[in-house]
Structure 1
Amino acid sequence: MGNKKLITIAMSLFLASSALAGCSGGNNSKNSGAPASDAPASSEEAVSTEPVTFTYYNFQSRGKDVMASETTIGKKLQEQTGVDFKLEYLVGEADTKAGVMIASGDYPDLIAPEDQIDKLMDAEAFIPLDELIEEHGPNIKRVYGPYFDKFRHTDGKMYILPYSANQGYIGDPNISQGAFWMQRSVLKEFGYPQLKTLDEYFDLIRQYKAKYPQVDGKDTIGFAVFAPADTFYNVQNAAMHLAGFPNDGGVTIDLETHEAKVVAGTDNIQKPWIKKLSEINAEGLFDAESFVMNKDQFMAKVTSGRLLGYFAYNWQIGEATNNLKAADIDEKRYAPLPIVYSADIKDQYVDPPAFVNNRGVGISVDAKDPVRLIKYIDNLLQEENQILVQWGEKDVTYSVDENGRYFLNEEQQKNRDDTNFKLSYGFQYFEYGWPRYGSNSLLTDGNSYGVGNQPEVAAAGFTEGDKTLLEAFGATTFSDYFSDPDDRPWYPAWSINLGQGTPEQIFSQKSDDLQKKYLPKMILESPSSFDALWNEYMGEFNKLDKATYEATMTQKVQDRIAGKW
């Protein structure tokens, strides 16, 4: 089983940076599309290359703080522009960091605010970008022009450049978003059954754990959810996926009426999921540390060989599974499964095409030189630099065949799976967190913008274990055995801005607080207490103004369908 390798990999994750493997803003539909037809623009004015250093702060924990020029990509961009960045990432609580920034009035030059966007907008932390883009942003206009009206503020101005805007479209051969994941040794043990329902999923884990109660002298862990306070949405979102909905945040939206309904407190969506976790916890199948372990601890369990199944989004913990792949421990890697409550439900784990308008990068009111910053971003959006931040350098980090198709040779693929390489080269810092093409975009020559979406890369990256599993499932890629996404022109609803201090925002916050208080109790205490706790939870929940929230979300969804973002 390669147990020494497993221990080594698990220990290395405690030392590795807590960098995210991907992002949630990409689109993962399998629908095809045409490549972007517009040629990359270039500014006619001379761009100064006078050396200058700016500060950049990202409210995600993507990696250690570093000078951009210490990475290969950052150094090349510095050579083009003269601009270097002190890159800083979140440590601790996002709310606390945003509060300190606002209270002090001291802001970095560039800020990627993540879920602190409303607070920072209300504090007037950003400058409008309209005139800067008009005068200095030909590539910004090329990439984002069709989307401008989707991310204007209520005053009609643009303050944040979203992380991505699709240029053409290609589907994802893998599952980079959410799924119920199962260790492949479990599937192999029972002949690769194609599981569909939650009961089937847990029954297989139950059987395997009974047969193999320990790994390396430690108890086998049946199932976990990666749900500490900052990713508690994992335990919340799983319920909507089980009911056949994609990740629209805290609501489900009817495909015909477009009505938004809150997931929390529902007898048919949230309750059966939480009750099931209570039942498996009583059996000893649930990891009670799900709500308290940090990312490194969770990934150490993923790579230990002890954890049989979990729910999480692949971009959250991809580096752990990449390490298992790099170490050639295939049977301990995980397969994504489209698990739902009952066999008659159509799964919707694969995202439909989306545009996320409330995540991105803004220039702060304290920025030393906004013109220089917007020129840097514009230069970044030249297609040659978009290739650099995703693919790197030809014949170094990727190769090109005689037909002009991009691929990775064995060494290049190995580097792609190496977190330390991604950090030192700069992929970890620049492939996400900056204005860019959407993950499912096509380059003008027809190659995929996202490396993982390139068919040649996906096929070459499949191990013998991958091929065996896919053959057993009658599929050629992992997304093949998931359902195609239904059309949702508003998607994702979680990107709808509600505004700080509004009744809707207050409802959302109080609802989250109640769920964080009660759901772990219902799961971890005796099943005999479940009904009483659920009733207590609902008693508190019913005091909230759910009706106003649902009415507002319904209206905003319908506005988006009508083209009013």
Structure 2
Amino acid sequence: MKRKFLYPLWVLFFFVAVVVLVACSDDEEAGTDEGENSQEETGSESDEPLTLTFFNADGEEKAFDDPVAKKITEKTGIKLEMDYPVGGDEEAIPLMIASGDYPDLIYAKGDIGKLIEAGGVIKLDDLIEEKGDHLKAMYGDQIDRLRNSIDDPSIYTVGTYGVENAHWETSGTFQVQLDVLRELGYPEIRTLEDFEQAITEYYEMYPEIDGQETIPLSLLGSDWRWLITVGNPAGFAAGLADDGQWAVDNDTGETTYKFLLPEMKAYFKWLNGMHDKGLLDPESFTHTHDTYISKLSSGRVLAIADQNWNIGDADKALVADGKDWRTYAPLPVTLGSDYQSQALKDYGFAGGWGIAISSTSEHKEEAFEFLDWMASEEAQILTNWGIEGENYDIVDGKRVMHEEDRERMNTDADYAKETGVGYYVYPFPQWGNGAVDSNGQSITPNTEQDIIDNFNSAEKEALSEYGMENWIDWFPQTEDLETSKHGSVANYTIPSGSDVEIIQQKADDLTEQRITQMILGDPADFDDSWDAMIDELDAMNIEKANQDMTQMTQDIMELWGTN
């Protein structure tokens, strides 16, 4: 009886087990299919990079698809969709504010104040404290220089300028063709008088170059670069630091609109004389940037007063065409021996402008984490050097740039754009020239020795004739110049709608127009025209702007603890 009872029970258990197993198997298969599909979808989403929109006021048309960009995406999971102001449009930020439609990341330059006032960007203090380890390490005790103002000491931006800045080269100075120096027996050129004499003598010797009329001096005053090639050189000739439209007493912070100074009159009167003598390119205030670069690239422009970044394409074109002697040497030129070039001045970390995160971004934390990663050693090496094995190798424990890459960096205007090497340094957080990594190696491929090694053959020969290794050798040295206590006024965020903003804009518009007219006018009318311009500046209450800017400079010095 017992056996008869157990047998059917065993059979029952067997069939129940089979049914359960089959059911479970079906459920597991269904669940597995669903789970795998779900994982595949989730995996697909997580593997797909997050796109952050980025407006760059200094940007250009460019996709985030070069090798360095792809490596950044691989490391961060972030892809940038980059936008820029078409045709130098100055209304891009005001239009953003009016529409309330902001990208995730914004580099607004001097318009950052407008965004802060409009509530268009967020404060970064808490994020830096909670998860900004790389940024805190980068800025160290200079982090206060990121703060907005003494009234609102919050941090809204990071990046743009190097925290450390070694002064191994100059930019923005007067420059003359190397062949001028060679033909004239390598003269000393330290004053405007020396400068004029050199280009005049060479022009008389060679009225044509390669079948085209020689141009003794050319400027670019037809657009915003008026400030770069006309306004700024006037201050540099007067021994002023690069404080934009202002002259600053480094001890007291007293700040003056620089075009009020008698030295400015002296410089522009000289430039008026150059025009009257036929030594200034008559198209200096009408030609486009492309035309200007084309003239420089032809090798027939003897002298300029410009920033290196503005003439880079021309310099590379000249070297590529084998015209090394038509490239330019920087000069420590001033109004006279009583003035000292400030080309190698140490401004410290500039602070001020930088990249902000918009208040409307749906990815604020991801955007911040991306900016923090860009401040990391890994990112700094990647953005400066490129990809190991593709752009550089490790030789005896040190990074060595491939010769082809080094060559293209110096001769190919599209190198950075095509490879990404060096392209994402500015305006992102950057350690700067002179900084070293955890192994003591330069964070950039541009040590002073690299710069010296990269001089073209004509530069090396000219430097040898002068008994110098580097062009900076004939400039007043950084250690002999005062370190700025206020950074540079050119980087200040001027409060939107303030008296100083309104007055300066009017003053800038006036001086650009009037000074251009004076340079191109009859020398006999220059003094009266200058006096009339000063009267116009007084009438628009330029003294009020001086007072307000002085207070702003002094506030910066207090905020930074340098007063």
Q: Which residue of 2 aligns with 1:25?
A: none
* Residue identity opposite 1:105 in structure 2: G
TM-score of the pair, normalised by structure 1: 0.85
Q: Which residue, out of 111, 122, 127, partners 2:106?
A: 111
Using the TM superposition, give the Cα deviation of residue 85 of structure 1 relative to its aligned residue in structure 2, in angstroms: 1.0
- Tell me, yes or no, if structure 1 residue 442 matches structure 2 residue 436: yes
Equivalent residue number for residue 514 of structure 2: 518
The 1:171–1:193 alpha-carbon spacing in structure 2 relative to 1, beyond 3 Å, is same
C-alpha displacement at 1:100, in angstroms? 1.9
Give percent identity, aligned residues only. 30
2:391 is matched with which residue: 385, 390, 397? 397
**Equivalent in the alignment of 1:472:** 465
Cα shift readout 1:114-165 (whole Å, capped 9, x = no counterpart): 1222222222211222233333322122213423322223433221113235
Residue 425 (structure 1) aligned with residue 419 (structure 2) = yes
SS at match of 2:342: coil
Aligned to 1:460: 453
For the aligned residues, what is the CA RMSD? 2.1
Which residue among 230, 241, 247 is the counterpart of 1:246? 241
Asked whether the equivalents of residues 400 and 406 of structure 1 are also in contact (C-alpha less than 8 Å), the reply is yes
* Residue number among 485, 500, 503 corresponding to 2:499 in the alignment: 503
Please tell me whether the aligned partners of residues 63 and 429 of structure 1 are also in contact (alpha carbons under 8 angstroms): no
CA 1:429–1:221 in 2, change beyond 3 Å: closer, same or farther?
Answer: same
Corresponding position of 1:188: 182
Higher helix share: 2
Match of 1:321 among 308, 315, 326: 315
* In 1, Cα distance between equivalents of 2:90 and 2:457: 45
Q: In structure 2, do the counterparts of structure 1 residues 256 and 141 end up closer, same or farther at CA, with 3 Å as the change threshold? A: closer
Compute the TM-score of the two structures, normalised by the length of structure 2: 0.85
Cα 1:429/1:411, change in 2 over 3 Å: closer
State how far apart, in whole Å, the 2-side matches of 1:255 and 1:133 are: 31
C-alpha deviation, 1:447, in angstroms: 2.3
Whichever residue aligns with residue 56 of structure 2, its letter is N
1:280 to 274, 277, 286: 274
The SS at the match of 2:261 is coil
Alpha-carbon distance in structure 2 between the residues aligned to 1:217 and 1:326: 20
Asked if the contact 1:326/1:414 (under 8 Å) is kept, the reply is no
**1:355 aligns to what SS in structure 2?**
coil
Deviation at 1:170, TM superposition (A): 6.1
Unmatched runs of 5 consecutive residues or more in structure 2: 1-45
Matched, 1:529 2:503: no
Question: Take 1:480 and 1:405, find their aligned partners in 2: how far apart are those partners?
Answer: 28
Q: Does 1:271 align with 2:269?
A: no
Contact 1:278/1:527 (CA < 8 Å) preserved in 2? yes
Moved more, 331-340 or 414-423: 414-423
Cα distance, 1:79–1:405 mapped onto 2, change above 3 Å: closer
Match of 1:209 among 203, 219, 229: 203
Other-structure match for 1:162 = 159
Q: Which runs of 5+ in 1 are unaligned?
A: 1-47
CA 1:335–1:366 in 2, change beyond 3 Å: closer, same or farther? same
**What is the aligned partner in structure 1 of residue 34 from structure 2?**
none
Task: Tell me which residue corresponds to 1:64.
Answer: 61
When structure 1 is superposed on structure 2, of 391-400 and 72-81 the one drifting more is: 391-400
Instruction: Report if the CA contact (8 A) 1:63-1:428 is conserved.
Output: no
Partners in 1 of 2:181 and 2:514 — Cα distance?
33
State the 1:416 CA deviation.
1.2
Where 1:471 maps in the other structure, the secondary structure is helix
Q: What's the CA shift for 1:305?
A: 0.8
SS at match of 1:293: coil
How many angstroms apart in 1 are the aligned matches of 2:177 and 2:487? 31
Aligned to 1:150: 145
**What is the aligned length?**
509
Instruction: Tell me the amino acid that sits aligned with residue 455 of structure 1.
Output: E
**1:196 Cα deviation from its structure 2 partner:** 0.6
Shift of 1:551: 2.8
C-alpha contact (below 8 Å) 2:174/2:305 kept by paired residues = yes
Match of 1:91 among 63, 86, 89: 86
Out of 322, 327, 335, which is 1:341 matched to? 335
Shift of 1:262: 2.3
